[in-house]
């Protein structure tokens, strides 16, 4: 199958999970979604990742984001593993883990990279907006755990740049200065949108305080 690209509609599916059957688009509703794959249950890096996701539940909720994990292990194995995650990571897993034993979702989202592993899913992340559009993706090897602060940072950037005519610079985090998009040239509109003013480092590089702060 073709690789999913930014701007594509996230494929819908119905699949079993740790909390029962998930109809993906229906489950997502009007929320943002972070769909992330992990190679296997009862593995050390995945245990820390799912624990970190649970620990950040308040941060995801504050941003209107629903996390959902996936691996090719069956639902009963997920449910056996969750107590280990809760115990070792001092949290409570409160999001679904898709049980993709038939690899239906893995194939839709191109999560098995045969040159890395013919059986396990790689660590991919899909950022999906309320219109079910794929807005960003990240892919890591099985050996490298994800930085969940970065996942929140990407969401913050996407939501900010959707609502204001700005872009976020390198290493930006919520509260830092942002960049006025080059396409915005009308001086009256700039003054209206950015009442705190801006600094023109170059004609194409105009820096302004984050407008929603």
Q: What is the pLDDT of residue 112?
A: 75
Q: Residue 55 is inside which H or E element, if any?
A: helix 44-55
- The count of structural domains within the chain is 2
Domain limits at 71? Answer: 14-146
Q: What is the pLDDT of residue 118?
A: 47
Give domain status of residue 81, yes or no.
yes
The fraction of the chain above a pLDDT of 70, given in percent, is 94
CB of 167 closer than 8 Å to CB of 161: yes
Among 46, 56, 93, 180, the one annotated catalytic: 46
Give domain status of residue 80, yes or no.
yes
| Prediction pTM value | 0.92
> What is the spatial distance between Cα 51 and Cα 37, in angstroms, rounded to a whole number?
14
Q: What is the pLDDT of residue 39?
A: 84
DSSP 156-177: HHHHHHHHSSEE--TT--TTS-
Give domain status of residue 92, yes or no.
yes
Which tokens go with 200?
A: 């023109």
Same domain membership, residue 92 and residue 53: yes
Give domain status of residue 32, yes or no.
yes
Query: Residue 46 catalytic?
Result: yes
> What is the spatial distance between Cα 160 and Cα 176, in angstroms, rounded to a whole number?
12
Residues of the chain with pLDDT under 70: 1-2, 113-122
The closest of 35, 107, 42 to 74, measured between CA atoms, is 42
């Amino acid at each position: 199958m073709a690789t999913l690209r930014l701007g594509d509609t996230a494929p819908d599916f119905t699949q079993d999970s740790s909390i029962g059957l998930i109809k993906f688009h229906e489950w997502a509703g009007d929320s943002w979604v972070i769909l992330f794959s992990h190679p296997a249950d009862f593995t050390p890096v995945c245990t820390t990742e799912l624990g970190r996701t649970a620990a950040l539940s308040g941060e995801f909720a504050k941003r209107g984001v629903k996390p959902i994990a996936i691996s090719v292990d069956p639902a009963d194995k997920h449910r056996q593993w969750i107590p280990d995650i809760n115990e070792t990571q001092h949290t409570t897993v409160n999001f679904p883990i898709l049980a993709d034993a038939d690899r239906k979702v893995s194939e839709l989202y191109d999560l098995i990279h045969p040159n890395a592993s013919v059986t396990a899913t790689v660590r991919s992340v899909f950022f999906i907006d309320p219109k079910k559009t794929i807005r960003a993706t990240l892919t890591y090897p099985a050996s490298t755990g994800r930085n969940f602060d970065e996942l929140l940072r990407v969401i913050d950037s996407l939501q900010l740049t959707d609502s204001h005519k700005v872009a976020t610079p390198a290493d930006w985090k919520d509260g830092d200065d942002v960049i006025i998009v080059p396409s915005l040239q009308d001086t009256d509109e700039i003054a209206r949108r950015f009442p705190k003013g801006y600094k023109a480092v170059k004609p194409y590089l105009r820096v302004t305080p984050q407008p929603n702060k």
